[in-house]
Amino acid sequence: MLSFFKDYKLFAIVFGGISVIITAIIYNTLNVYQPLPIYQPTMVTSELVDSTIQHQKKYHKIADFSFTNQNGKTITQNDYKDKIYVADFFFTTCRTICPIMTDHMAQIQKEIINDNEVMLLSHSVTPEIDSVAQLKRYAKKKGVNDKKWNLVTGDKKEIYKLARKSYLAVKDNGDGGPFDMVHTENFMLIDKKRQIRGFYDGTNTEDIDRLLADIAILKQEK
């Protein structure tokens, strides 16, 4: 009987040791760095994508751009070179989803205020209304930090083209009018190679938390 208990004790020690090793392996496997997807036009609902690129499966990047920000400064892709950034589309007179989106963008700004790798970019879909002066008033009201966050206006055709062919984020309003846009609640996460790495509901607090977590993941990429 004593021999049995000794053998059982040895078995328990060996089994316990093996269990610890297996648990550690499983834990490490589940916590291995998982890169974010690189979004292509084929991965996004067709209503948000220009028909000319709907079948593109690779090599998609944000195109060159040139707009004017809330300070009257010309903003181009060079201002975002080697930066991770969050982009969206809005208009200052919107009274539905835009205020929520802008407040959430301000929340992101607060989280990344001292992070030199991350910036924000908001494009007006009503540039005929959103002049530089209007954007400046809106920026002051919403607490925009000029060093971190650009609100931009410009040629409506160019904004429309960028929204549909680069960011894959704006709907055509369907009435046949040239370059008329219906913006969505989407926030887009763009990496340092100008690739789309995530889409998020800018009105949803849980998605904002997910976006912030994904920025941290993206920063691990070399």
pLDDT digits over 141-165, tens only?
Answer: 999 999 999 999 999 999 999 999 9
Q: Summarize the confidence of residues 31-47 as an average pLDDT.
A: 89
Q: Summarize the confidence of residues 177-192 as an average pLDDT.
A: 85
Q: CA end-to-end span of the chain, whole Å?
A: 61
- The whole-number pLDDT of residue 174 equals 56
DSSP 63: P
Q: Is the pLDDT of residue 35 over 60?
A: yes
Q: Is 55 annotated as a binding residue?
A: no
Greater confidence (128 vs 7) lies with: 128
At 11, the pLDDT band (50, 70, 90 cuts) reads: low
Counting residues of the chain whose pLDDT is more than 70, the rounded percentage is 82
DSSP string, 1-31: -HHHHHHHHHHHHHHHHHHHHHHHHHHHHHT
Average pLDDT, the chain: 88
At 5, the pLDDT band (50, 70, 90 cuts) reads: very low
- The whole-number pLDDT of residue 181 equals 73
**CATH of segment(s) 41-218:** 3.40.30.10
Q: Is the pLDDT of residue 4 over 50?
A: no
The DSSP bridge partners found for residue 87 are 121, 188
Q: Is 104 annotated as a binding residue?
A: no
Q: Is 123 annotated as a binding residue?
A: no
Greater confidence (10 vs 80) lies with: 80
Q: Are strands 149-153 and 118-124 parallel, antiparallel or unpaired?
A: parallel
Q: Is the pLDDT of residue 78 over 90?
A: yes
- The whole-number pLDDT of residue 151 equals 98
pLDDT digits over 96-139, tens only?
Answer: 999 999 999 999 999 999 999 999 999 999 999 999 999 999 99
At 183, the pLDDT band (50, 70, 90 cuts) reads: confident
Sort 88 into a burial class: Cβ within 10 Å, 0-12 / 13-18 / 19+: buried
Q: Is the pLDDT of residue 212 over 90?
A: yes
The maximal CA–CA distance of the chain, rounded, in angstroms, is 92
Q: Is the pLDDT of residue 31 over 60?
A: no
